Amino acid sequence: MERFVVPDSLGGERIDRALALLFDISRTDALAMISGGKVYVQGRNSIAKSLRLSTGDLIEVSESLISSRFELEPRPDLDVDVLYFDSDLVVVNKSATQVVHPGSGRERDTVVAALLAKFPQLSEINCDPLRPGVVHRLDKGTSGVMVFALSQRSFDTLSQGIRSHAFLRRYIALVEGHLESRLGLIDAPIGRSTRNSKKMEVSSNGKEARTRFEVVESFDRPRPATLIYVTLETGRTHQIRVHLAGLGHSVVGDEVYGKGDELLNRPFLHSETLAFEHPVTKEPMTFSAPLPSDLRERLANFEGA
């Protein structure tokens, strides 16, 4: 049997779609696995085909049915900017071009592949085998600070910290237009788009999502824009981008939820600060990463209000 814990990004998904995404199989094959009693959720294999998963659910799947599944291999040739590590965790500064873990596209050039080469103990953690040590994620196109677990105890504790919103996760974003208030809380549920399964949207049927923002500086030229700090109280997929776009202030450079930018080929979004309690020593830990060069250069093109 192979075991993995449902990540936040798949919380609320139907079991058949989640299996299809994780193992790169058709939903028909996934349904056959479920009907054949080969899939266990929280220890039960008598499950409805329409079951929606919850973050943290334990799924067990017969190994023989997924023997051809994508295998994650260590990649010592890949660079990763390690800010800190000990026997329990590693903190990295992810570049915007890096993908955290393999997805439906079966990417091999991932942060976890690079970390496996440096920290082989990642493979011993009982979790989704394609996401070893991953307790939270950043989208491709988003840069900045992330933490990975290096032990089972650390993985369980950090994952619980993410679920209970015990982490401080602060981002820097440049958004279109001028915000009406200098401080604000966006409290609006987010779910998968009914029109495009690759996108998220504010939806009454979605999961609770709360985003705080604070204005740093406003600009008038070359067009109205605002630099803000953004703090996550929850961690839904694309949360910051969806919430800000819903306010009418999409992130500069966001071609998915906004209009993109002529000089920036990714969203102006950077995970600046991550603070949490060490999972073993309980020591408070804070890590920060400065704006990368592409965002600094783009910001320099904007002039004050």
Is residue 66's pLDDT more than 60?
A: no
Q: What CATH number is given for 2-66 in this structure? A: 3.10.290.10
Known catalytic residue: 139? Answer: yes
Look at 195 and 211; give whichever has higher pLDDT. Answer: 211
Is residue 60's pLDDT more than 80?
A: yes
Topology alike, domains 81-164 and 169-271+296-304: yes
pLDDT at 111: 96
pLDDT-derived band of residue 70, with 50, 70 and 90 as boundaries? low
Topology at the third CATH level for domain 169-271+296-304: Pseudouridine synthase (3.30.2350)
pLDDT at 67: 45
Is residue 84's pLDDT more than 70?
A: yes
Q: Domain residue spans in the chain?
A: 2-66, 81-164, 169-271+296-304
pLDDT-derived band of residue 135, with 50, 70 and 90 as boundaries? very high
pLDDT at 158: 95
Domain 81-164, CATH among 3.30.2350.10, 3.40.1260.10, 1.10.10.10, 3.40.50.150: 3.30.2350.10
| Marked catalytic residue, from 8, 128, 139, 294 | 139
Q: How many CA atoms lie within 13 A of 137 on its CB side?
A: 24
pLDDT at 271: 98
pTM for the structure as a whole: 0.80
pLDDT at 18: 84
Point out which residues pair with 171 in neighbouring strands: 230, 271
